[in-house]
Each structure stands twice: as C-alpha cells, then as structure tokens.
Amino acid sequence: MGGVSRVPHVLLPPSESKEPGGRHSAAPGCFDAALAAPRRRVVDALAHLLDRGSLEEISRVLKVRGPLLERALESTRRLVAGTAPTLPAWRRYQGVVWTHLDPTTLDDEARRRILIPSGLYGLSGGLDELVDYRLTMKVGLAGVGNIATYWRPAVTRVLEELGDAAIVSLLPKEHTAVISETPELAERLVTVAFVRHGGAGAAGHEAKAVKGVVARRVLEGGVDAIVGFRWRGWRGRVQLGRFEIRGPREASADRGSHLLDQ
C-alpha cells in the first residue's frame, strides 16, 4: 500500500437523483476536448429519438415514467437544442452515495479528483458542468448501440492518460463495464468490493451510504484509508489481494436483498 499514490482519483457512479436547474454559462470540463466527438454522437442519437421515437420508446430508453418523464423530456429537448443549464457534477448528483460523500464540504482539489462515468458524458470530473439528464449505461441508442460498449474505448483511453496517480474504483457493474483493464491501467486501478459480512455482494441503502463515506476517506487520506476504514460496523481490509469493505454481522441476515447496482 505504501507504493500507491496518496492523492488518488476516485471513480464514483452518477445518480438518477439530480438537482434541477443551473446556469447558462459553463466553464470547459477536463475531458471536453478528448470526448467532444463521441458526446456529440450521443446527443445526435437522442435528437433522433425525440424526433422519431414513440413516447413509449422514449420512456423505455430514458427509463422513467409519469411526472419524471415530463422532466426528462424537457431536459433532453434543451440538451439537444443547446439551451440546457448546467451545474458542477458535485452539485448536480443528489443520490445516497453523493449525499454521504458530502462534497459541499470538500475543497476543489478533492472534487477535481472525483471521476464519474455516465451515459451522456462518457467521463466527467467532479468540477465539470453537467446538464440535468437521464441516460444509463444499460440502454441502447440508434446509431450508437449499447451505451457502455460505445463509451469503453474512449473512457479507457482518457483514464490511461491521467498520469501515474492511483485510480480507486467504487463503481457497480453497470459502470465498471465502461472501462477496459488494459496493461496501462492495471497497475494503477484499485477496485474496492463492497460485501456483506458473509461475503456476498452488499445491498441496500446502507451499502450505498458507506460507498460515499469510503470515497470521502480516500479523497482525504489516500488508498491506505481503505484498510483502516471503520463506519457503523463496516470494515476495510485486504482479502486475497483485493480491497474489500465488509458489512456488519447483522447485514448477513438480509437474505432478500438484491446486489448493489449503484
């Protein structure tokens, strides 16, 4: 652990829950130049969906119904038109992981080291200005195909070009699928598994919460903070050569829970 960079980047999933609104002036993002072309293809595919798709198809691709569909339609229309307001990623995302990260009390140096793979942007930094959007890695778009597969080469390339700092991944499977573990990344990519006390995948609200807490500890204390991690019965350790955050003993009794998706 001592040879791993103490100022790592941290890969976090985006959240479906987002702060609405924003402003109409956006500073350039850290991956704007590298990812401009593939981002434009995604926006063009969304424009085609709005123009040619049925409401049912749009609902299926955006994975939302009812009142939330109206918000998603409006935000997508504004995105396509180039009039969508933006907020920094650390303000835009409002899910359980992000509220427990508590980015409002981090400084910009730490926020800059947060990396977020997403269906719309491919990869963003924590300070990057983002629109309100709905697009997961699991869906397909005409002209683009499966979103995760589409983004994999470009996202892998920009991660390879980040330098020699460690990259700590706290991603679920949906977002891990956008990264190829190339030889260039293998030496720097630190994957953290979140598991129940009995060893199976972690589940539920508490598992999402602990992911946000772990992210903050790593941003502030480096990779070594994982091994000594303690929070509400959750403990960090190295198990069979991998970093692991293990749940409290009583969590193993939650047999009906599903594996953590995000």
Alpha carbon separation from 30 to 115, 130, 157, 216 (Å, rounded): 10, 12, 14, 21
Residues of the domain holding 127: 9-18+26-253
Which of 111, 191, 123 lies closest to 160, judged by CA?
123
pLDDT tops 80 at residue 3 = no
How much is the pLDDT for 6?
57
Please state, in angstroms and rounded to a whole number, the distance separating the CA atoms of residues 103 and 256: 32
Residue at 46 is within a domain: yes
pLDDT tops 90 at residue 1 = no
Q: Is 114 exposed, middle or buried (0-12, 13-18, 19+ CB in 10 A)?
A: buried
Residue at 38 is within a domain: yes
Residue type, 120: L
Please state, in angstroms and rounded to a whole number, the distance separating the CA atoms of residues 236 and 214: 9
pLDDT in tens, 78-122: 999 999 999 999 999 999 999 999 999 999 999 999 999 999 999
Residue at 243 is within a domain: yes
- Per the structure, how many domains does the chain have? 1
Residue at 3 is within a domain: no
Residue at 261 is within a domain: no
How much is the pLDDT for 203?
64
Residue at 4 is within a domain: no
pLDDT in tens, 202-252: 766 788 999 999 999 999 999 999 999 999 999 999 987 789 999 998 744
Sheet of strand 189-195, all strands in order from the earlier edge strand to the far edge: 122-125, 114-118, 9-11, 167-169, 189-195, 242-246, 234-239, 230-231
What's this model's pTM, rounded to 2 decimal places? 0.91
Residue at 158 is within a domain: yes
- Beta bridge partner(s), residue 201: 195
198: confidence class by pLDDT, cuts 50, 70, 90: confident
Residue at 139 is within a domain: yes
